[in-house]
Amino acid sequence: MKLKAALPITAAFILTLAFNNCSDNDSPDTLAINTVKTRCLSVQANDCHQGNENSLMFMGIIETRTSGCKDLLEESNMSLLNTLFDASAVGQVSFSSSPSSLSAEFSNWVGADNLNILNLNNKQQLVCGFIDSNSNGFLDLTEPILEQNIQMQDINVLTLENWENH
């Protein structure tokens, strides 16, 4: 008698386990954006030097596209660039003497609607950035620019170092 009563409970438990372990694919549709760190070495871009310490750096993330970052970054000033990207952030750069470089860390991201964003699609993404050396809010000639493709699964703590002169 006790065995007959336990069978439905055991069957329900096994079905619950089976449903909890089923999924359409192994990876989630969206992933959290955590901390993104970037470093611009002075040997990569001329303006990545101590004179630009405390300048603002813009960082934007968008699903991979055929054209690169320069055309996007040249479209608007820094305060409106967020409308062109799936996620963006602005931060202040700091200088390090060994090796000579500018760096910044981003953990607060906003979407195109200027509201906080915590997740992005789990797809290939293009990261664009620039250091506003002259503090005018626009990407200008000679300012350091970043363009780097990433897979979202890599963004837990991501270090971006693909800088060059604009």
Between 62 and 34, where is the model more confident?
62
Residues 45-88: pLDDT tens digits? 888 888 899 999 999 999 877 778 988 898 888 889 999 999 99
> Residue 155's pLDDT is what?
57
* pLDDT(91) > 80: yes
Domain-wise residue ranges, the chain: 30-165
Residue 96 phi, psi (nearest 5): -130, 135
Residues 103-157: pLDDT tens digits? 998 889 999 999 999 888 888 889 999 999 999 999 998 899 999 888 776 555 5
> Residue 45's pLDDT is what?
84
Enter the CATH code of domain 30-165: 2.60.40
Which residues face 165 on adjacent strands? 144
